[in-house]
A and B are shown apart, each in its own frame.
Chain A
């Protein structure tokens, strides 16, 4: 149900605010990748939205197929995207490092199309989502649901072959018995029952903890899924800031952003620094892709990277491309613009509104909110 039909007044405002923070955190996590790469290589990596998409798709596939836990799917998706970022740089951009910007730009768009096509072929063009709840399919005929995890316990009903039953959240399987939700004859609500695990094929869904609300008021809810995105953005942006300010790699990245030739004269292997930059930005995009897909549901497809990618690019430009704080500021600003416009004006035109905001800012501040006119370059 769209927000503006369900809520009004104060609670509507608060819900929009939560949405804005979630969208803003997502855009910021993606925008960082654009801005870091641009800062060092002066290249807009237009395939970055696709890295976000590959992150979400990888985690989704790992979650539903080998059924790894969500946290592991997230970590592996970060790893896959880091490797993808590295490969994009190594195969597509590094060979063009000294050619025209147009060549690199066209290559970026080409990579973007290749990634979309490959994902479409691999997972089908349909929209997918992380299953909300864990469910089990009955594999054998003549199986009974029982009142307790014990073959001698009272039978509460017969499980038809091929039927799908919800796995009861909050109970763990014991002795090969799986807790299921079973609606007993004459009841309307399902209650806990047990079925033999050997006859079920269990498909994991999001853990109950992830589906929970942090605040569960009648009118204002704060789903944990939103808070996870906020925490991820806060932790990763802070971590990145510390990395860039304090560590050897971070200082090398700043040096390369300021003057690549001189950085090399210090002994810095510029190509390695650029590769690391691609990897870090890609891993952050993966986090955004996974957590945002967990939150919204039903958005996972080869196409999902396009809008977030373009908006995050606008966010990076708006904040001042090349500037990490600018990516955060720009991402948040567009997250707020999108969410509030969608709630209070027209939800169909929220992306158009984001672009109008960016264009307006760029007219008055061509280098973005935090950008400076002369990046120190020789």
Chain B
């Protein structure tokens, strides 16, 4: 059986700058895959290529064996590729509730959307209390919860998470990681997660890729990478 998502020798960049220099990644259905690496390695760019925010210059991205690079962002959303971008990117002037509704923009089952909003509120009770508040007025942790909840409203088949724990207190990031694992285990959501906190990411993921200046330098089961001396030295601070 083919992979859910395949990146095949992907090159991408901005202007004259080449950022991704032939990246190949595979994500199987039902997996949690982590992508770790130093600042500026190209992790965000990789996710942007998958969701067609940034075009590929060479190589290809395939979704269930079908070419998906070269299309529009909305095409990827229709396939169920839901990108929760770095820095949350909430609609700051819209309410919490409206942000959740935007997440369900392509759905046409209002009762289902309403019950999903209730589910999000059950998952993140703080959002329920603040549903009529402007998203921009939420705390950083609440904003991250809302960004993830907004992504889940679309019923993702593949959830792309870019640094979901950035700037969060440890307790809150643990809660977010726990939520991701639950979603994966109970609802079978496939996850590709980019994380600064390599320790947490390797604890959560089944498999991981290590990226250095636009190239994948290591990959394997997360548990093995966690014990790799190079990874330990570079990313786990041990």
- Which A residues are closer than 8 A to B by beta carbons? 248, 251-252, 254-255, 258-259, 261-269, 376, 378
Residue of B nearest to A245 (CB): B98
Q: Is the pair B91, A267 in contact by a Cβ cutoff of 8 Å? A: no
Q: Is the pair B105, A267 in contact by a Cβ cutoff of 8 Å? A: yes
- Write out the residue numbers on chain A whose beta carbons fall within 8 Å of the beta carbon of B83: 265
- Report which residue of B87, B91, B154 has the largest number of chain A beta carbons within 10 angstroms of its beta carbon: B91
The smallest beta-carbon distance between B105 and chain A, in angstroms, is: 5
- Write out the residue numbers on chain A whose beta carbons fall within 8 Å of the beta carbon of B106: 266-267
The smallest beta-carbon distance between A105 and chain B, in angstroms, is: 23
Q: Is the pair B102, A255 in contact by a Cβ cutoff of 8 Å? A: yes
The smallest beta-carbon distance between A249 and chain B, in angstroms, is: 11
Compute how far the CA of A378 lies from the CA of B89 in the bound complex, rounded to whole angstroms: 8
Compute how far the CA of A277 lies from the CA of B102 in the bound complex, rounded to whole angstroms: 18
The one of A252, A261, A266, A378 that contacts B77, using a Cβ cutoff of 8 Å: A266
Q: Is the pair B105, A266 in contact by a Cβ cutoff of 8 Å? A: yes
Q: Is the pair A267, B77 in contact by a Cβ cutoff of 8 Å? A: yes
30 A-B pairs in the complex with CB atoms less than 8 angstroms apart: A248-B105, A251-B98, A251-B101, A258-B93, A261-B73, A261-B89, A262-B85, A262-B91, A263-B102, A264-B53, A265-B53, A265-B82, A265-B85, A265-B89, A266-B77, A266-B103, A266-B105, A266-B106, A266-B154, A267-B74, A267-B105, A267-B154, A268-B74, A268-B102, A269-B74, A376-B91, A376-B92, A376-B136, A378-B87, A378-B89
**Interface pairs A-B: 10 shortest CB-CB:** A267-B106, A267-B77, A264-B73, A262-B89, A376-B92, A266-B105, A267-B105, A266-B102, A258-B91, A265-B83
Main secondary structure of the interface of A (DSSP, over half): helix
Compute how far the CA of A251 lies from the CA of B16 in the bound complex, rounded to whole angstroms: 36
The one of A251, A261, A269, A378 that contacts B94, using a Cβ cutoff of 8 Å: A251
Residue of A nearest to B78 (CB): A267
The smallest beta-carbon distance between A43 and chain B, in angstroms, is: 20
Q: Is the pair B102, A376 in contact by a Cβ cutoff of 8 Å? A: no
B51 within 8 A of A: yes
Residue of B nearest to A265 (CB): B83
The smallest beta-carbon distance between B115 and chain A, in angstroms, is: 19
A-B contacts, CB under 8 A, total: 64
- Write out the residue numbers on chain A whose beta carbons fall within 8 Å of the beta carbon of B87: 378
- Write out the residue numbers on chain A whose beta carbons fall within 8 Å of the beta carbon of B102: 251-252, 255, 263, 266, 268
Q: Is the pair B74, A255 in contact by a Cβ cutoff of 8 Å? A: no
The smallest beta-carbon distance between B170 and chain A, in angstroms, is: 27
User: Which chain B residues numbered 69 to 122 have a C-beta less than 8 Å away from chain A?
Assistant: 72-74, 77-78, 82-83, 85, 87, 89, 91-94, 98, 101-103, 105-106
- Write out the residue numbers on chain A whose beta carbons fall within 8 Å of the beta carbon of B93: 254, 258, 376
The smallest beta-carbon distance between A100 and chain B, in angstroms, is: 14
The smallest beta-carbon distance between A44 and chain B, in angstroms, is: 22
Given contacts A255-B94, A265-B51, 15 further A-B contacts (CB under 8 A): A248-B105, A251-B101, A255-B91, A258-B92, A258-B93, A261-B85, A263-B102, A264-B72, A265-B73, A265-B83, A266-B103, A266-B106, A267-B77, A268-B105, A376-B136
Residue of B nearest to A257 (CB): B93
Residue of A nearest to B153 (CB): A266
Q: Is the pair B51, A259 in contact by a Cβ cutoff of 8 Å? A: no
Residue of B nearest to A272 (CB): B74
The smallest beta-carbon distance between A86 and chain B, in angstroms, is: 19
Compute how far the CA of A303 lies from the CA of B53 in the bound complex, rounded to whole angstroms: 43
- Write out the residue numbers on chain B whose beta carbons fall within 8 Å of the beta carbon of A261: 53, 73, 85, 89
- Write out the residue numbers on chain A whose beta carbons fall within 8 Å of the beta carbon of B78: 267
- Write out the residue numbers on chain A whose beta carbons fall within 8 Å of the beta carbon of B51: 265
Compute how far the CA of A378 lies from the CA of B136 in the bound complex, rounded to whole angstroms: 14
Q: Is the pair A258, B94 in contact by a Cβ cutoff of 8 Å? A: yes
- Write out the residue numbers on chain A whose beta carbons fall within 8 Å of the beta carbon of B136: 376
- Write out the residue numbers on chain B whose beta carbons fall within 8 Å of the beta carbon of A268: 74, 102, 105
- Write out the residue numbers on chain B whose beta carbons fall within 8 Å of the beta carbon of A262: 85, 89, 91
Q: Is the pair B77, A254 in contact by a Cβ cutoff of 8 Å? A: no
Residue of B nearest to A260 (CB): B73
Compute how far the CA of A251 lies from the CA of B100 in the bound complex, rounded to whole angstroms: 12
Residue of A nearest to B98 (CB): A251
Residue of B nearest to A261 (CB): B53
Compute how far the CA of A248 lies from the CA of B102 in the bound complex, rounded to whole angstroms: 9
- Write out the residue numbers on chain B whose beta carbons fall within 8 Å of the beta carbon of A255: 91, 94, 102
- Write out the residue numbers on chain A whose beta carbons fall within 8 Å of the beta carbon of B94: 251, 254-255, 258
The one of A252, A258, A376, A378 that contacts B105, using a Cβ cutoff of 8 Å: A252
The smallest beta-carbon distance between B106 and chain A, in angstroms, is: 4
